[in-house]
Amino acid sequence: MTIRNTLRDYGQRYRPRMACLKKAEKVLLEMQDPKTGVKSQPQRLVITTIPHAITGEDIIAWLADRFQIDTQEARKFGSMLVALGYIYPLQDHKRLVVKPDASLYRFQTPYFWPTQQWPVEDTDYAIYLAKRNIRKKGILELHEQEQYNRLHKWMNHKWDFIVMQAKEQYRAAKERKKPDRVVFDCQERAYWVVHRPPPGTVSAMDYGLDRRVDPNADEAKTHDFYERIMIFTQQSIMRPRVKSSVSIGALVKYCATYNSHDPFLSKCLPSNPWLTDDVTYWTLNMPNVEIPTKMRVERWTFSFGELLSDPRGRDDFRLFLKKEFSGENLAFWESCEDLKWGTAATMREKAEQIYKTFLARGAPRWINIDGKTMEITVNGLKHPHRYVLDAAQTHIYMLMKKDSYGRYLKSPVFKDTLKKAICPEEHKFTDAQLDQNAKNRRPSLSPIILRQQEQEQRAKMAASATVDITQLCRFTTPVPHLAVYSGITDYPSANASPSLPFLTHTPACPSPISVALDSTSASERRAETSEGEGEGNPQTRAPIGGNVSKPRMAFSLRRLLKRGCTPSTMFASLSPKCPSAAGTSSRIQPISPDQPTQAPPRRIGNFFQIKVDIPPECRIYPIESEDEEEENRAASRSGVGAKEIICPWESLTPQNGMG
């Protein structure tokens, strides 16, 4: 059974999207009138003369006269007629604009007029390409060649027909006289330039998706139909209502604020790329640009959501928070976003990672949320899903908004950025330059390449990530290999929408697991060689939760705690490996007041509410003092009743040496 195109009648009747077509046809009929229309002249080719050619300036003059508009608007109107395909240019046939000079145009035959009722078929296009192939003796343009190959692949079952029909049509066309043949060729070519535009041009006939259902048709009054009406009205009743003064006030405020930032309503500096074909505006506003534009920085002051949704703004904010040593809030927020927008397979790991890094008692980057939210979150984490951290994320968001945002706007970081922001000059292109720009249009990088670049950048940043640890306990002090979420990297996708705060997908962080993995494996190797203890057990022990990579971090931590006394030596042995660690550790040192260098050993467990049973001769040593002696002593320790941070929803499997 042939599959017929059942969607043939879905044009104007279903949604008069292109009401302009009927109107344009009327205008065209007037225009082509031999007496009152545009002046026509014959086109002189080498041998033949073809009548009914019109010049661009005549078109513009006639339109300006008929509709009483100025030349600029007449020109735009004429260009629209050309772009739709009612008039086609005879020279430079690929650029569908009206040039206000003596360049020639001609009217298109009604068969080739644009219409939504008769969809443009690929079969016809294939036949046209085959005919062109014959005519040009096999030399097609690049995009035509590509289309040809593609159609040959997809319409293979019809290919015999296409070849036959192409040959026949070619021969039938030859039956006509030479001038008519030339005209016909031009007509057909123009038609296909409009409906299958060459790459780099936009077809004026793009009107989005077609509707399968006629919205004006009567719908059968079935049970379903009434049920839908009922549900709709019930929901309408339940909808929360706002006083119109409030809502209108909000709208007015929004319009007033964003009026100067809207590229339709006000000027777009330096120039709107869609109008002038000059992409400076886009390069200046790339997501990870060094120096933002003044307009962009101004938008950050509008609301906190704007700041966060702009990647550059987020970078700035992150820098500010780093200076204030409260970067964990933003890091937590970002990792929550990552969880929400990430793949389902990684959700469980991510949730646990986040818990360990931010929420657990004694976590390295502990965030400050109230007890109730914490309870809800921890309960939810027993069965993690995408939105399990929503409550905590909202809390932190409000915290940042009410507290840090205000300080950020007054901070030197912001003021500095504001001062450095550039305000580009407006472009003033002449017509010739505009033509030049149009010729030099190039497609931008493919999104696949962009994503690869993003990932490379992220990996690079992850490798050199600095650690931002807020709480210092002995377990967290110099843990460079637990290079947790530092939140430095930020190369998100470029489609940030300012109105929706949580919309942007920013997989900003390197997965802490991967980083931990890299350095952990290195550290483990080193540890093994240096200590050489029977550490086979932790490695071969079946990981909790069945995930090999996740508890690696836990492993190393557990191993250190097992040794019981001087994790700092272990850390110390690790520290030379990570060059940034030394820097961070020296930075971290001053923060914790509880790390006396020569303090007598004491029970520090209670401070951070970790029930740790540490042998009294333990000392906390600063990182720099790598002590071989201590290391040896560490090796001889056995058994420690230290409890590490594990997720409360996981059952404690009986492990050797763990309390």
Contacting residues toward other proteins, per CB under 8 A: 1-4, 28-29, 32-34, 37, 40, 43, 50-53, 106-112, 118, 121, 123, 130-131, 133-134, 137-138, 148-149, 152, 156-161, 163-169, 171-177, 179-180, 183-184, 187
Q: Please, which residues bridge with residue 106 across strands?
A: 88
- Between 187 and 346, CB nearer to other proteins: 187
From the CB of 206, what's the least distance to other proteins, in Å?
Answer: 22
From the CB of 143, what's the least distance to other proteins, in Å?
Answer: 16
Q: Which residue has the tokens 């042939």?
A: 2
How many CB atoms within 10 Å of residue 314?
Answer: 24
- Between 172 and 209, CB nearer to other proteins: 172
- Between 177 and 419, CB nearer to other proteins: 177
From the CB of 68, what's the least distance to other proteins, in Å?
Answer: 23
- Between 156 and 452, CB nearer to other proteins: 156
From the CB of 312, what's the least distance to other proteins, in Å?
Answer: 49
From the CB of 21, what's the least distance to other proteins, in Å?
Answer: 13
d(CA 458, CA 488): 9
Helices then strands, counting H and E runs in the chain, come out as 28, 6
Q: Is 62:75 a contact under the CB 8 Å cutoff?
A: no
From the CB of 543, what's the least distance to other proteins, in Å?
Answer: 51
- Between 151 and 396, CB nearer to other proteins: 151
Residue 51 tokens, joined: 């009548």
**Residue 270: cis peptide before it, omega within 30 degrees of 0:** yes
Q: Is 320:413 a contact under the CB 8 Å cutoff?
A: yes
Letter string b/e over residues 134-162, b meaning 16 or more CB atoms within 10 A of that residue's CB:
eeeeeebeeebeebbeebeeeeeeeeeeb
Question: Nearest Cα to 59, choosing from 112, 110, 109, 104?
Answer: 104
From the CB of 99, what's the least distance to other proteins, in Å?
Answer: 19
d(CA 140, CA 515): 52
d(CA 508, CA 417): 22
Q: Is 597:504 a contact under the CB 8 Å cutoff?
A: no
- Between 53 and 279, CB nearer to other proteins: 53
- Between 151 and 367, CB nearer to other proteins: 151
In angstroms, what is the C-alpha Rg of the chain? Answer: 35
- Between 54 and 269, CB nearer to other proteins: 54
Residue 95 burial class via C-beta count within 10 angstroms: exposed 0-12, middle 13-18, buried 19 and up: middle
From the CB of 176, what's the least distance to other proteins, in Å?
Answer: 6
3-state SS string for 65-106: HHHCCCHHHHHHHHHHHHHHCCEEECCCCCCCCCCCCCCEEE
Q: Is 103:78 a contact under the CB 8 Å cutoff?
A: no
- CA 495 to chain CA mean position, Å: 4
From the CB of 207, what's the least distance to other proteins, in Å?
Answer: 20
Give the amino acid at 315.
Answer: D
Q: Is 529:574 a contact under the CB 8 Å cutoff?
A: no
- Between 161 and 254, CB nearer to other proteins: 161
- Between 21 and 588, CB nearer to other proteins: 21
Residue 461 tokens, joined: 């940043």
- Between 186 and 269, CB nearer to other proteins: 186
From the CB of 201, what's the least distance to other proteins, in Å?
Answer: 24
From the CB of 134, what's the least distance to other proteins, in Å?
Answer: 5
In this structure, what is the dihedral angle of CA atoms 290, 291, 296, 300, given to the nearest 10 degrees?
A: 70
- Between 77 and 88, CB nearer to other proteins: 88
From the CB of 95, what's the least distance to other proteins, in Å?
Answer: 20
Residue 358 tokens, joined: 């931010």
String of DSSP letters for 458-525: HHHHHHTPPP------TTTTT-TTS-----------S---TT-TT-S----SPPHHHHHHHHHHHHHH
Question: Nearest Cα to 331, choosing from 495, 499, 501, 489?
Answer: 489
From the CB of 71, what's the least distance to other proteins, in Å?
Answer: 24
Pairing of strands 49-55, 87-89: unpaired
Residue 270 tokens, joined: 């330096």
Question: Nearest Cα to 421, choosing from 300, 542, 331?
Answer: 300
- Between 50 and 204, CB nearer to other proteins: 50
From the CB of 54, what's the least distance to other proteins, in Å?
Answer: 9
Query: 474: which DSSP letter?
Result: T
Three-state secondary structure call for residue 250? helix
- Between 33 and 425, CB nearer to other proteins: 33
